[in-house]
Amino acid sequence: MAVTVSVCIPSFNHAAFVVEAIQSVLAQSLQDFEIIVTDDASTDGTADIVSRIADPRIRIHRQPENFGPSAAINRCIAAAKGKYIALLGSDDSFAPDKLERQVAIMEREETVAVVFSHVRAVDGGGQVMPEHSFPIPSIFRQPNRTRAEWLRQFFMKGNCLCAPSALIRRSTIDEVGEHDIRLLQLQDLDYWIRICLRADIRIIERPLVNYRVAPGGANLSARHPDRAPRLLWEMQKVLRSFLTVQDRAFFFAVFPEARTIPAADALPLECLLALVSTGGRSPPAARLFGLDLLFELLGSDTGKESLSRAGFRLKDLFRLAGASEKIRREALAGFGDAASGPLKIRERIRSNGMYQLIRRTTRRWGLH
């Protein structure tokens, strides 16, 4: 039978917190929901604990092995029957009126695909953490923006939206598709970009989620040499979604600097994207993405002709390629790579909330 909200809880080794997460859903002021838990081969008895909660609205699926967070989310959504999908980490929790507030916006504004909220960071005991010790809430404290403004934010600065705060229309998920299981750390960013390319999102500018910082959070900056290179690789894949923009006016709304490119009104949008990406305003990961895109475009006569109209030729590609290692080091430093730069740079990056957000994702799933 259809319900208003399906609360999807992917879980891995959260025996200490999963009951609190589920209880926060059971205590919602809006009671027309189901809870779907996908246990990703936990080894601490998480699935058994969930199975003992006596409420017919709870269903649990057990993965035969640990496939990662995206696969677990996809399994939850595949089983969901709700008009709306709420995501909840198995160590996080909802404020009592979260679903009611979000559903009210969805019912009132049919063009909105996702409603997010602000969050609080809490420690292992559920105590609110001061932002100077864990700045994630300030990253998620975002204002409402237009679709074009959100896409620019994602392109220039990365993810700033909290997945456990999201309520998503099921019809939007059916259109956008599943979370990409090939992505380990930027799957949320990839999903928000794909949604914003199609529809609007809204922010409730008050904290409706308690976002758990697991015990041992002091080790969030622990070194793992493969993390920064993987983030850089994933970012270059995620940015390819911008190639799907087909409306020229919308493209210029996202990238107003593209209007300064010679022959901008006549160039293919993929050429404009490549040139914008390699421009001085773009972050290092985007510049590497743009360099790869220029290489692809210059492999065809059409691409060479289009880029030449903007004054870009092979010698410019060679010049950019010559700087690619420097750009790569800058990108790795931005993602907190321990070997990418001076200690002062590393300390600044590790104090940055975005790095800690990414770190939390891999720690909580037992992946590095």
179 and 263: one domain?
A: no
What's the CATH code of the domain at 47? 3.90.550.10
Question: How many folded domains does the chain comprise?
Answer: 2
If asked whether residues 178 and 261 sit together in one domain, one would say: no
**Confidence (pLDDT) at 361:** 55
Q: Is residue 100 part of a domain?
A: yes
Whether residue 146 is found in the same domain as residue 208:
yes
Residues 203 and 312 in one domain: no
Last residue of a domain, one of 190, 219, 248: 219
Share the mean pLDDT of the chain. 89
> What is the reported pLDDT for 214?
67
Helix, strand, coil % (nearest 5) of the chain? 50, 15, 35
362 within domain boundaries: no
Q: How confident is the model over 34-91, as pLDDT tens digits?
A: 999 999 999 999 999 999 999 999 999 999 999 999 999 999 999 999 999 999 999 9
Contacts of 159 (CB under 8 A, 6+ apart): 186, 188, 189, 192, 354, 357
CB 235 within 8 A of CB 289: yes
165 and 277 belong to one structural domain: no
- Residue 338 belongs to some domain of the structure: no
Identify the domain boundary among 177, 193, 219: 219
All residues at 6 or more sequence positions from 23 whose CB lies less than 8 Å from its CB, including other chains: 93
Sequence letter at residue 129? M
In a domain, 55, yes or no: yes
Among the candidates 219, 244, 260, a domain finishes at: 219
- The answer to whether position 343 is within a domain reads no
Whether the predicted pLDDT of 216 surpasses 80: no
Look up the domain containing 72 and give its range: 3-219
My answer on whether 81 and 10 are in the same domain is: yes
Report residue 274 as tokens. Answer: 């490549």
42 and 136, same structural domain? yes
348 inside domain? no
